[in-house]
A and B are shown apart, each in its own frame.
Chain A
Amino acid sequence: MVKPGTLILNVAAGLLMPLQLMFALFLLLRGHDEPGGGFIAGLVGAGAFALYQFAHGPAATRRLLHVDTRDLIGWGLFLAILSALPGWALGEPFLTAQFWKVPVIDVKVSTPLVFDIGVFLVVLGSVLTAVITLTELDQAEAERKERREEGRDKTWNR
């Protein structure tokens, strides 16, 4: 199984993960005009958490995330559907993109961005669900094996 907790990995993960997450955010937000976008950002983000998990184990990763990875998927789908509605409410076909400019800080806000955030969350959630679940299963199996061996040791001692 994958054992968490080697020193180099721990330190590296602590330094790299925030950078990776910031990079993911950066890719997500600039995606409409420059290379990037929700899908790529989701993969980078998943990579960041995967690295953290290798260093600190799945339980710590779950604590860090605060939310269940499956909820991330749900929220992503919800946002994607939500982004389809404004166009519809304004009398245009479903999913027609709407663009707004926030006046004071001059930021472009649009339904494609919301949609992209949805994609980001779904990708992030899906990959992490697979990675974390696999690792947890691995760990559980290893623990069972250990327990069995311990049991065998005891009978041996007797």
Chain B
Amino acid sequence: MQIAVLTGFVLAALAPLLHRLFGERTGLVLALYPAAVVVWLVQFLPAVMEGETFLFTQAWAPGLGLSLSFMLDGLSMLFALMISGIGTLIMIYASGYLHGHPEQARFYVLILTFMSSMLGLVLADSLITLYIFWELTSITSYLLIGFDHNDADARKSALQGLLVTFSGGLALMSGLIMLNIAGGSWSLQELLTDGEALREHALFVPMLLCLLGGAFTKSAQIPFHFWLPNAMAAPTPVSAYLHSATMVKAGIYLMARLHPALGETFLWTAILSIAGASTMFLGMVMAIRFTAIKKVLAYSTIMALGMLTMLLGIGTKEAIIACMTFMLAHSLYKGALFMVAGILDHETGTKDIAEMGGLRRVMPVTAACAGVAALSLGGVIPLLGFIGKEEMFKAVLHAPDFKNFMLVLSLGTSILVVAVAAIVALRPFFGELKPTPETPHEAPLSMLGGPLVLASLSLLLGLMPSLAGQGVLEAAVSAVMGESVSLHLALWHGINAPLLMSAASLIIGLAIYWGWDRVRAALGRLEPLFSHGPEWAYGRLMDGLVWLAETQTRLLQNGYIRSYLVMTLLTFIGLTGYTLLFRYSPDFSFDIDVALHEAGIVLLMCAGAVSACITRSRLAAVVAAGVMGFCISLIFILFSAPDLGITQLLVETLTAILMILVLFRLPRFSRLSTSFERARDFVVAVATGGLITLLLLMATNVSLFPSISGYMIENSQPLGQGLNIVNVILVDIRALDTMGEIFVLALAAIGAFAMLKLRPKELQDG
């Protein structure tokens, strides 16, 4: 299982190479990866449908209880199939959409990384694994929204999406940690078996709120929805894939995953039902305000995410069935519609629906795909979207709580959805052929393949719902319910309340479509309301953050290294001194047993320190400091730590070299500080030195933890096969720490390089 997930990362790293090899056909070649994942998943399908769960665990850092673990059950299966299936089509589509684009390689690197991260997210069993993949999808989404990084708007939208989903990610992390504290395990598999313990734990409320914070930001629930329409700055394959079919459903996945353990509590039902229903309705109201096709689609995605959240909130068997069915339907038709939107943009050169018309004659296949997908969106018989909507109405009608509230909103939503479906499917294709910036003609096959397959699936699964119903949907519903559920989806249930509601919304929705221009004008009067929404609040928050950063930087980081030093040392004296003097009783029972040569070295050190302070020549100061360093390394060697001694020696030498290089850049030595400042610095310096001395003296007597050196000495040879214990610790026993350190070192070097070399032109020349 880990191979299926991790291959994508390897391929991502190789993508630039593959692009050099295959050129314009790279997308087609790379589409083999998600296609292979589909095949690989399908072989598990029969067993998963039987209710089996596949587990894979690889110890990562067993000492910390961390492991890389994946699981495959019905819910993971449904998501993984959607990710890899639609992913295959998207890769093919992208090869057409980005034809001739100079930065294709970068696109493939990012989209493959995303694909793997998303697969990892839905297949994760360990909470840590889940969290890491969750954040990886946010990062890749950020890079993909800002793919056109010369466009300031795209960059701004990318950052907005990143900040919103990352703050949610932080909440999620806290939630996951609380989940671990309450449930005593990092494994989802184990946590879900004991929902009772989680629900009754004292941390339940903060835990649920934090987890939902993560899910709501990722899945664009109001009031965190505003980043999603802005994310449409991304290339269309990205919008189709990340921002409608997969990434934005990560929050839905998380809620569905946790439903067996955390669901069916009042708090869960209340938050999810109300937030979901509101998001669903308001998303649709906002959708019909726009004429940019991708914006309209983005808001209708918000509607879908709201509906899924609401259904998970209801939590009955019917609701979960509706949720899974509608999610599949949505992924199919929305993917198709986005790809159609991309085709229209690509072929006509405009993104505005109001500027398109009559394209049916020049682009018949595109028009057909758009029509079928829009019928599914509008919930018209006999498409899968219809079944999804019927199930939704049924679930809402039988909801135990908040029934009337949700019923009104879902009826309103479904009316507006019909209008929107008509807007995207009828407006561009029917009526007079309008002149567009580019002369439209039918899209290439690579771009038509995706919408064709997805639209046909919408139709096929609508006509034969048992194909999906008895297949993966049943397994998914069982996983979300936490018990085995059998499912019977059907197109025709006879004339009942849901059907009448569908019919009513169809008629009213079409009426709204005919009066769309007037509706838009009416909603335009509400503009002040919309412009003071959550996005406005986000803007204010960001301004405040920048102000805070500026103020504290001016205060604390004024560019003078002396004030940094004073600040750091005073903080150290304050905190450590306080702890040392008030928490511990001073106890210096040490015996002076110093050999003559040791005393000599110490005296030499003191002399070095004093002369470094009083000399007026910088070079002499460097040399004097060097004397101290060499003396220290001598002491290391005397106390039989040759490695430390050598290292100290070399560091001193190189520091002297670097210092001399810098010294030449400094102005002539002159005394600028007043006597008061010098006195103050003297006091700070003496206090710091004194405190360190005190600390050392006390540390030799205080032993809070048993020494670990015994373990290291004993195990260095048998476990590490090395006699040099210091080295064995560095490269074997504590290799993870060393790994962290070399990364820090590398970052420091790159930072220094950037500061010296990559300065703005005017500074460099000045």
A interface, CB within 8 angstroms of B: 1-2, 31-40, 43-44, 46-47, 50, 70, 73-74, 76-77, 80-81, 84, 88, 91-95, 97, 99, 108, 110, 112-113, 115-116, 118-119, 122-123, 125-127, 129-131, 133-135, 137-138, 141, 144
Contacts and interface: CB of A to CB of B under 8 A. Distances in A.
Interface stretch (B69-77, B454-462, B473-481, B652-660): B652-660
Nearest to A27: B646
A77 B742 contact: yes
Nearest to B764: A140
Contact of A31 (B654, B660, B720, B724): B724
B661 A127 contact: no
B381 to A, nearest CB: 53
Contacts of A126: 745-746, 748-749
B536 interface: no
B658 A92 contact: no
Given A32-B728, A47-B650, A135 B661 contact: yes
Contacts of A46: 654
Contacts of B723: 32-34
Contact of A129 (B650, B660, B752): B752
A37 B721 contact: no
B731 A38 contact: yes
A48 B727 CA distance: 22
Q: Which of B642, B719, B738, B750 has the most C-beta atoms of chain A within 10 angstroms of its own C-beta?
A: B738
B59 interface: yes
Contact of B739 (A80, A123, A127): A80
B61 A94 contact: yes
B750 A70 contact: yes
B732 A112 contact: yes
Interface string B721-761: 11110111011100110110011011011101100110000
Interface string B632-652: 000000000011001100110
B727 A116 contact: yes
A88 B646 CA distance: 34
B732 A130 contact: no
A44 B756 contact: no
Contacts of A108: 721
Given A33-B722, A112-B735, A123 B745 contact: yes
A77 B752 contact: no
Given A2-B661, A112-B722, 11 more contacts: A32-B728, A32-B731, A36-B727, A37-B730, A38-B730, A47-B657, A70-B753, A94-B61, A95-B739, A108-B721, A112-B735
Given A35-B642, A133-B757, A137-B756, A97 B61 contact: no
Contact of B724 (A34, A77, A115): A34
Contact of A43 (B654, B738, B749): B654
B576 interface: no
Contacts of A31: 724, 727
Contact of A127 (B654, B727, B736, B757): B654
B128 to A, nearest CB: 13
Given A47-B650, A122-B745, A97 B732 contact: yes
B676 interface: no
Nearest to A32: B722
Given A32-B728, A33-B724, A35-B643, A92 B756 contact: no
B662 interface: yes
B233 to A, nearest CB: 31
Q: Considering residues A37, A39, A129, which has the most beta carbons from chain B within 10 angstroms of its beta carbon?
A: A39
B174 to A, nearest CB: 25
Ordered nearest first, which 8 A-B pairs have the shortest CB separation? A126-B749, A43-B650, A32-B722, A35-B642, A33-B723, A112-B731, A37-B727, A122-B742
A154 B588 CA distance: 73
Interface string B657-683: 110111011000000000000000000
Contact of B749 (A34, A70, A88): A70
Chain A interface main SS type: helix
Contacts of B743: 77
B530 interface: no
29 contacts: A2-B664, A32-B723, A33-B722, A35-B646, A36-B646, A36-B727, A37-B726, A37-B730, A37-B731, A43-B654, A47-B653, A47-B657, A80-B738, A91-B58, A94-B61, A95-B736, A112-B732, A119-B738, A122-B742, A125-B746, A125-B749, A126-B745, A129-B750, A130-B752, A131-B661, A134-B756, A137-B756, A138-B664, A138-B665
B514 interface: no
B742 A118 contact: yes
A36 B732 contact: no
Given A32-B727, A44-B650, A137-B756, A93 B59 contact: yes
B572 interface: no
Contacts of B752: 129-130, 133
B619 to A, nearest CB: 13
A40 to B, nearest CB: 5
B405 interface: no
A36 B724 contact: yes
B742 A80 contact: yes
B745 A115 contact: no
Nearest to B746: A73
Given A93-B59, A112-B735, A50 B753 contact: no
B60 interface: yes
B100 interface: no
Nearest to B726: A37
B664 A93 contact: no
B724 A50 contact: no
Contacts of A129: 749-750, 752-753
Nearest to B734: A95
Which of A2, A34, A92, A126 has the largest number of chain B CB atoms within 10 A? A126
B58 A40 contact: no
Nearest to A114: B731
A106 to B, nearest CB: 15
Nearest to A31: B727
A110 to B, nearest CB: 7
Given A80-B739, A94-B60, A37 B749 contact: no
B706 interface: no
Contacts of B61: 93-94
Interface string B46-65: 00000000000011111000
Contacts of A33: 722-724
A62 to B, nearest CB: 13
A3 to B, nearest CB: 11
A1 B746 contact: no
A58 B651 CA distance: 21
A43 B658 contact: no
A84 B735 CA distance: 9
Nearest to A137: B756
A131 B658 contact: yes
B657 A97 contact: no
Contacts of B736: 95
Nearest to A81: B739
Given A32-B721, A127-B654, A138-B664, A93 B647 contact: no
B756 A95 contact: no
Nearest to B722: A32
A50 B731 contact: no
Tell me which of A77, A112, A118 has the highest count of chain B C-beta atoms within 10 A of its own C-beta. A112
B643 A40 contact: yes
A130 B650 contact: no
A133 B732 contact: no
Contacts of B653: 43, 47
B60 to A, nearest CB: 5
A109 to B, nearest CB: 11
Interface centre among B723, B739, B752 (most CB of A within 10 A): B739
Contacts of A125: 746, 749
Contact of B62 (A38, A93, A119, A141): A93
A113 B735 CA distance: 11
A119 B664 contact: no
A6 B303 CA distance: 76
